[in-house]
A and B are shown apart, each in its own frame.
Chain A
């Protein structure tokens, strides 16, 4: 869905945190904040809820354990019982390593895919870049405009809070397959004076 966003870039964490606080207090809806590196406590400042990734990890893990134990016990007790080294047909200690490996495998792979899904990133998937400097040296705060948002007021509000680059963008908020639009420049080209 194409929406309108007000994008403000900050150059310092110390400016960003009070700005996030003020923007939230003023009632604007922060779409996301893009930073060049993980910033401690930012998720807390943004009021994001805790991720459900680990709950999914637990479910994947339990699935792996069940598949391993269930599969092996069915094979070795019902489908094709074999006498291996005089051990019982249901040798639980011998099953544990395999159950453990399958638990780890399923939870790890499952969590990677879930992580990608939650963050809307997959191989071959494209997303709109609000500012190329977010991958370099700027903290980019993206505020979603609703019907009631006054863009001009918001821009000056951001400026008062220390944003150095402010612009308004209309962009697709989700992700899509294929190419970037031609008008979206991914990298800023600068003249290099020799």
Chain B
């Protein structure tokens, strides 16, 4: 195979370094933050330990899963332009099983450990006192939580793998004739159709309720799932773009041009605005309605210790993308796009932080070594997983029927 991607030594060093930093932080966390104690919220450091792990595992799992979702939507829309860098999305998608495993492990610890400080509905004493919480017990209970999570993560990983496998098979099969490619496309589309329905039913509805909204179990918002979806989608595209630019710089992805970069930039621009739209919908209705049971969610975020993050969130995720990505020239500039991808990734990571922390550690937020060390570990895992996939296969799916359309793609 010509032009096979070979990992540069620097990449390996960074990837391993990040993972070691993450692991060290975890070990230090186990030593100093006392994770086994205080399941009723009487030990802030202990709560903080699990909250940070939960925030990061959910965030990184959902954004690597977006890579699979990206393949699925472009397949179903018969998109051709993404074919030149489809392998990058597949590479990121190959991290889903690993991330899923980590996430399930953390969930098992939280649920089986009965962490009522993270998920209030796990706390038996709270349950017996609270009528509203008692009404929700059919949905918010350990069995539903664990079974749904495990099935959903398994299905995400399984279909992602299936789609990747189909794509990899086309490499060995040689150039397809019309009939074969039609058959191949239909196979792709059936799995994609299955995935998109699954995605709608999970990320589009129950999964954010179960994983994130139940951190504030008395509060609810009908916009929440879509809001989470928009947040993960835009940061997933940012992650994809970073890797596209990385592989392009390494001499791979010979057919990716500025035209593809501009379209990825457009995706980020559009979905940053979409995120803002959903954020604002949720915020304004609650602000205008002014019902105590709803405003409680924003009280701690707007007037409590998270007020700074609240505005930072808007600046990073709305003001920066809309102003910087508006011009065509910036979307075609590799440096600016890389910079913006990092801003968006960080911004939505902050967004997840302010989703998770107010419901768990409440008025005692921390933002120090543990909060910053753990995400580095996850980044290291993603870098390692992508690299593992990329060194094994050709980064350009030459036999994909849409390859030519991608090569001549012009905005």
Contacts and interface: CB of A to CB of B under 8 A. Distances in A.
A96 B280 CA distance: 9
A85 interface: yes
A25 B11 CA distance: 48
A94 B284 CA distance: 7
Contacts of A93: 280, 283-284, 287-288
Nearest to A50: B328
Contacts of A58: 326
A87 B288 CA distance: 8
B290 interface: yes
Contact of A85 (B284, B290, B328, B410): B290
A124 interface: no
A41 interface: yes
A50 B290 CA distance: 48
B410 to A, nearest CB: 6
Contacts of B283: 93
Interface residues of A, number: 12
Interface in B251-302: 280, 283-284, 287-288, 290
Interface in A81-105: 85-87, 93-94, 96-97
B210 to A, nearest CB: 29
Interface in B364-411: 410
A93 B284 CA distance: 6
B288 A94 contact: yes
A40 B259 CA distance: 13
Given A58-B326, A96-B284, A41 B290 contact: no
A68 to B, nearest CB: 15
A84 to B, nearest CB: 10
A39 B326 CA distance: 25
A182 B4 CA distance: 68
Contacts of B287: 93
B410 A40 contact: yes
Interface in A68-125: 85-87, 93-94, 96-97
A41 B409 CA distance: 11
Nearest to B329: A50
19 contacts: A40-B410, A41-B410, A50-B328, A54-B328, A58-B326, A85-B288, A85-B290, A86-B290, A87-B288, A93-B280, A93-B283, A93-B284, A93-B287, A93-B288, A94-B284, A94-B288, A96-B280, A96-B284, A97-B284
Q: Which 3 A-B pairs have the closest CB atoms?
A: A93-B284, A93-B287, A40-B410
Given A93-B287, A93-B288, 11 more contacts: A40-B410, A41-B410, A50-B328, A58-B326, A85-B288, A85-B290, A93-B280, A93-B283, A94-B284, A94-B288, A96-B284
